[in-house]
Amino acid sequence: MPAYTNLIRYLKEQGNKISSRYRGIYYIEGNTAWFPTQIIVTKRLDKNMHIWLRSLSGRLDKNDVKNLLERVGEISDKWDKEMVGAVLAVSIEANKQAVRELAGGEHMLLETLMEIMEPQITEKLDEAQREGRKEGIQGTIKILRNFNHQESEVKGTIMEQYGLTEDEAEEYLKI
């Protein structure tokens, strides 16, 4: 007898009402349920209807992962993609072996992951670019100062070379 049936039986004995609108999802109401409670039995969930919940279980096979990624590819809303990205990250961690099997022969996996991760990748690239630019400006200032250039020359050079405003150049010169 599966463990979840013992739990459901116990909860009923405690005076709770158990209902199930979907196979594998049980709603608990009553004496011991102090807040809305659900029991989710991932083995019993419908493979297609509840792919997102099932994906968190660590029990997906190669075809399930492929199905999940196809679903991800159908999402177009930016906010939805960000939310899916969070679920997908957990799912990939939970189902590493199935993901490895799929990645071995499917180009779609990489494309889908890149599309989902695009905002985070862009943010990291922009951050790296800003940091690199800052280091370049600071390096230029240091070299010019080492060669005993006047502060006005240093300021003019970094404004010209890096397209800085006078205020931005002043901030760099303070560092």
Q: Is the pTM of this model over 0.85?
A: no
**17 pLDDT more than 90:** yes
| Highest mean pLDDT pick, 33-47, 59-73, 137-151 | 137-151
Taking only the tens place, the pLDDT of each residue in 100-136 is 777 776 566 667 667 767 777 888 899 999 999 999 9
Q: Is 56 helix (H, G, I), strand (E, B) or coil?
A: coil
The residue behind tokens 């049980």 is 26
